Amino acid sequence: MKQAKKRYWMPKLVRAICGTSKKAWIVGGAAIPNCKTIKDFDVAVSYSDWPMIAMMIPKDAKPTLFGGWKCKENGWEIDVWPAEIIDIFHCSKCEWMWQPQLNIRIHREPTESIRELGAY
């Protein structure tokens, strides 16, 4: 009897990064619970774990302006970059963060000044 292949909604690279480092966080849309319209995965990795995680980045990945890497896996775009997590949380565009291994999800309400700019 052939066993059904297990399907994941998260790319293998993202699972590997977040499973290897408890200081790797998915940020943005992919961190929203039950989100059905995930376009890409943004993963911020603490500077302390970056040397270990950088070795997981595929050879065909392209460098980004943030000092990280961009690649594709099964149609998903993946951005991985080094950053201190507190700095990511303070970023005005970062509303959601999720660490899958620890199952910690953080939602930060946008400030009124950000709403006035029409960003949300």
Domain membership of residue 27 as a residue range: 12-116
57 close to 80: Cβ distance less than 8 angstroms? yes
Assess if residue 97 is contained within a domain: yes
- Over the chain, what is the mean pLDDT? 84
Assess if residue 74 is contained within a domain: yes
Assess if residue 49 is contained within a domain: yes
Assess if residue 7 is contained within a domain: no
Assess if residue 57 is contained within a domain: yes
Assess if residue 2 is contained within a domain: no
Assess if residue 95 is contained within a domain: yes
Average pLDDT over residues 71-91: 88
Assess if residue 3 is contained within a domain: no
Q: Report the alpha-carbon distance of residue 26 to residue 105 in Å, rounded.
A: 9
pTM of the model: 0.81
Q: What is the pLDDT of residue 2?
A: 54
Per-residue pLDDT band at 25 (split at 50, 70, 90): very high
pLDDT in tens, 32-70: 888 888 889 999 999 999 999 999 999 999 999 878 999
Strand partners, 107: 96
CATH number, position 36? 3.30.460.10
CA dihedral 106, 53, 83, 37 (to 10 degrees): -50
Q: How many domains does the chain have?
A: 1
13 close to 49: Cβ distance less than 8 angstroms? no
